[in-house]
Structure 1
Amino acid sequence: MSISDEIKQSLTEQFDKTQVPEDVDRRVRQSFVQFHEKKENKKMKKNIIAFSIAAAVLIPTGAYSLSSSYFAKDQADINGLVGSGVQHAVSEGLSVPIDRKITDQGITIHFKEVYVEDTKVLVHYRIEKPDGALVPWEFDTTGLQIISDGKKDGKQVENPTYQEPGVEGFSQLSFIGTGRKDHLPFRLTDAVGKEIETGIADKDQPEGVIAFVTSGASLPQTIKLNVDIDRIGKAKGSWKGDIAIDQSKAKQATDAAR
């Protein structure tokens, strides 16, 4: 037998004969259990942290779909047409982002988002300067018999009103002007260009919503937003065009908004 084998055998016999006191054995076992408990706790903490990070990533995603839509904002509402039903629908991603622009005189009408139900169309627009900032909400009242300039503490808060010669009552000066006889700068048309009968509402400001609502009839399969503008604030020009309205989410939006 080699020397190394003799040493191993001697040590084995010595360990076999050695008796560990009960209190020492208990402490060793307790330390072993505590070690593994700490190890498991660390694993659990890591799992909790990982889950928290995942939640932090996932939760804002849902919030983003709501907050990123202009129609989710309180200022988007117009005559109660952008209410909680619409906000619920857009929180589910049922509006359609667009990026259509009509530019003249350095001023761009930027159409950014559309929301469609079976009987309603909402369009979010911005009127922008070349740098993308909103144009000022201001009016050219030269030559008009002004009743009210619409300002409070020097800030524009509403459209000016004026008196027309030979006309009873007063008229309101629009921010977005058109040469059309019906004075409507925006309207919906069908596939052949025929105007669709709807009620129309807008805030007539540099940013807002144009709302179209039928009397209950479903909208045709093909609709376009017709734009015919010859004045924006103090600037005169020509902003004309047709924008196709995406109705791919209309059925889902109608159901979600109920």
Structure 2
Amino acid sequence: MMKKVTIAAVGLAVTLFLGTYVAPTFANDVNSFFNSTENIDSGMKKAYNEGFVKPLDLKVTDQGITIEVKEVLADTMRIVIICQAKDQEGNPIDLDPSYLQFIIKDGMGNPSIDPIMGGWRTSKRGHQLMVELALTKSNTVEKKLPDKVNVELNWKQINETSGDWMLNIPIDMAKAKAVTKTVEINKQYTTPQGLMIDLKRIELAPSLMLLSLETKSTPALYQQKEESLISKGLTVENKPGEPSLPFMLAHEIQEYKLAYELLDQQGNIVAAWDEISDRNLSKQKNTINEMSGGYKWLLHAFAPLTEKPEQLMFKLRAIYSKELADFNVKLKLDDLNKVQIDAKNKGSKFTFSNFSLKEDEKVTDIDGHPIMGKGGIVHIQAELAEHIVGLDVWQAKDENGKEYKVRLEKQSTVGDDGKVSFQGVLVIEQLLEQPKELTLSYHISEIQHRDVSWEESIDLNPLTSTVIVNDRTEGKAAKELKPELQSTKSQPESQQAAQQVPQMTVNDDEAIKKNIEATLRLKYMSIKDLKKNYNIDFIVHNAVKNKYGVYKMAFYDLKSQRELYVIDFVDLEYLEQFGTNTGSGSWQIARLSDGLYVSIDSLKKNGIIQ
């Protein structure tokens, strides 16, 4: 069947490149995907209301199936495309994103941003498909977004029908770039714990506000952690056949997280970031988590400001660290249903009660907590000591020495005294028969450090332009020309001198790489371990590469000798990560020093492991 491609713009003349801005009257369309709250964040909604959503009627037909691109939202932070498929009679067809491939090219046709490396997601509303690409990691100081880009969409299969559906969407970014404001900050602070925070810049775009930060450990803190690992017998290497607990704890205690606020000139909190592990306790406000990310270099995305203040105040509220804990309690299970057991640990108080066995895999509501999978259930109430906001890495051991993984499902609150309390259940995974005794323990306490003191005024209307060289600002910025814009809580000169950021050495760089590896190893499984423990290998399905270096790999069940999932793949260098939505789900893969690793979450969500 002949394939045809047509394009028409609603209410606008068609030019070579489709501009990203239309008058808000054109955007006021009740049928627009963006004229809703479903699957739409507040940043998309604001960009829509301000005219940065363009209605389109771009179509391609093959094998009797037509794919239509209905709308596109584009600014310097993201591109969002709304599309749908119909049969010859105009009836809607489900459009599976698993078969979608796309690439972004510059105006000359050269690949500019390759979404096969991650940063994109899809969602559906009815039969309409939303494809969203985050530009936050690609549009950096070192690599600026071109003024003109082409988004190339391609399907080779729709449900059971093979064909070739190719669409090119030209986008002019010039106006979006013109209204995007970048303000260099480049201010540093070192916490009393030894965490160095570099507040780099803030970017204001139609669909979101992006704050860039960088965190490092001081040499003293790094040395302290190294000595702690040695003294506690912990290891940063997870060797086959050795217990995983020392490895897991080694990387838990090296992790630091942030909590801060952005305030307007009236002192109102317009945005807040809070990385506390317990989401029930988080004070985040106006965050857009899908656009955020980073490990050493942090990109925190927020909804765009509804007002346009001249200044914002950055206020560091707390940092979080994780420390080793030493707690265990022995429970006689026959007695636990008759009398509760109380325990204490360094100011924290616990009450354990009511043991039961969950004997099926389906989700069951237990005291308001949806619990999935088989295992033992122990009810728990706790009041944590001051500054402790969470407990992690729970374990159980029966009277025969057999160990079990334990997860805590809870609901937390904060009292008037600032202390955290929770009630919930401990799920002892894969405990199929009731033992006589269980010894419960946890190994990590999460600490909230509120002894920080840093406020930084951010002038959103700097008097002078700045030149960026190697991520540093040359020349005087507006803040240096206007002393009254400095923080109202300035630090004593001696404290400021003590907090100057030390120069990082080659050894520090190697340490950072080690930490990145260690963090990934906590959430990723090596292909070697996948093969050893689950008889599943990762093999070449089709070695033919396209012009972007993409080829086909497959997860292969060695026992049944069949392919489970076929996915797109690219060759990775050391510490490169890869994300794809091909196959039957989302996959995240990384190359570490000893080979390829795949996200455990990806393996679970796609049914490869439990």
Q: Which of 156, 168, 175 is equivalent to 1:242?
A: 168
Q: Which of 82, 88, 105 is equivalent to 1:189?
A: 105
Kindly provide the amino acid, as one letter, of the partner of residue 51 in structure 2.
G
* Corresponding position: 1:107 with 2:65: yes
Q: Which of 135, 138, 156 is equivalent to 2:93?
A: 135
1:40 aligned residue = none
How does 1:1-258 map onto structure 2 within 5 Å?
65=28, 67-75=30-38, 77=39, 82-136=40-94, 175-176=96-97, 178=99, 185-191=101-107, 192-198=109-115, 199-203=119-123, 206-214=127-135, 215=137, 217=139, 218-247=144-173, 249-251=175-177, 252=179, 254-255=205-206, 257=208, 258=304
SS for the counterpart of 1:90 is helix
Using the TM superposition, name which of 246-255 and 220-229 deviates more: 246-255
Shift of 1:108: 0.9
2:551 aligned residue = none
Query: Unpaired runs of 5+ in structure 1?
Result: 1-60, 138-174, 179-183
Kindly provide the amino acid, as one letter, of the partner of residue 126 in structure 1.
Q
- Separation of aligned partners in 1, 2:37 and 2:134: 20
Q: Residues 245 and 133 (structure 1 numbering): CA distance in 2 closer, same or farther, change over 3 Å?
A: farther
TM-score (norm 1): 0.50
Alignment deviations for residues 75-121 of structure 1 (CA, whole Å, 9 cap, x no partner): 3x2xxxx4112102212332111111111011111001111111210
Shift of 1:122: 0.5
Larger radius of gyration: 1
- Separation of aligned partners in 1, 2:149 and 2:51: 21
Shift of 1:124: 0.7
- Separation of aligned partners in 2, 1:124 and 1:219: 22
- Separation of aligned partners in 2, 1:90 and 1:244: 19
Q: Residues 136 and 85 (structure 1 numbering): CA distance in 2 closer, same or farther, change over 3 Å?
A: closer
- Contact 2:59-2:66 at 8 Å conserved across structures: yes
- Contact 2:59-2:167 at 8 Å conserved across structures: no
Using the TM superposition, name which of 110-119 and 238-247 deviates more: 238-247
SS for the counterpart of 1:132 is coil
User: Which structure is richer in relative contact order (CA contacts within 8 A, separation 6 or more)?
Assistant: 1
- Contact 1:100-1:112 at 8 Å conserved across structures: yes
- Separation of aligned partners in 2, 1:177 and 1:117: 25
Alignment deviations for residues 155-182 of structure 1 (CA, whole Å, 9 cap, x no partner): xxxxxxxxxxxxxxxxxxxx3454xxxx
- Separation of aligned partners in 2, 1:176 and 1:85: 23
Kindly provide the amino acid, as one letter, of the partner of residue 106 in structure 1.
G
Aligned residue pairs: how many? 151
Q: Residues 65 and 249 (structure 1 numbering): CA distance in 2 closer, same or farther, change over 3 Å?
A: farther
SS for the counterpart of 2:110 is coil
Shift of 1:249: 4.9
- Contact 2:77-2:207 at 8 Å conserved across structures: no
Alignment deviations for residues 27-56 of structure 1 (CA, whole Å, 9 cap, x no partner): xxxxxxxxxxxxxxxxxxxxxxxxxxxxxx
Alignment deviations for residues 4-42 of structure 1 (CA, whole Å, 9 cap, x no partner): xxxxxxxxxxxxxxxxxxxxxxxxxxxxxxxxxxxxxxx
Q: Residues 176 and 84 (structure 1 numbering): CA distance in 2 closer, same or farther, change over 3 Å?
A: closer
Kindly provide the amino acid, as one letter, of the partner of residue 71 in structure 1.
F
SS for the counterpart of 1:70 is coil
Using the TM superposition, name which of 185-194 and 203-212 deviates more: 203-212
- Separation of aligned partners in 1, 2:27 and 2:147: 30
RMSD: 2.9
- Contact 1:190-1:224 at 8 Å conserved across structures: yes
Alignment deviations for residues 138-195 of structure 1 (CA, whole Å, 9 cap, x no partner): xxxxxxxxxxxxxxxxxxxxxxxxxxxxxxxxxxxxx3454xxxxx512222222314
Q: Which structure shows the bigger proportion of residues in strand conformation?
A: 2
- Separation of aligned partners in 2, 1:115 and 1:211: 9
Q: Residues 131 and 194 (structure 1 numbering): CA distance in 2 closer, same or farther, change over 3 Å?
A: same
TM-score (norm 2): 0.23
Kindly provide the amino acid, as one letter, of the partner of residue 186 in structure 1.
F
Q: Residues 132 and 246 (structure 1 numbering): CA distance in 2 closer, same or farther, change over 3 Å?
A: farther
Kindly provide the amino acid, as one letter, of the partner of residue 101 in structure 2.
P
Identity across the alignment (%):
25
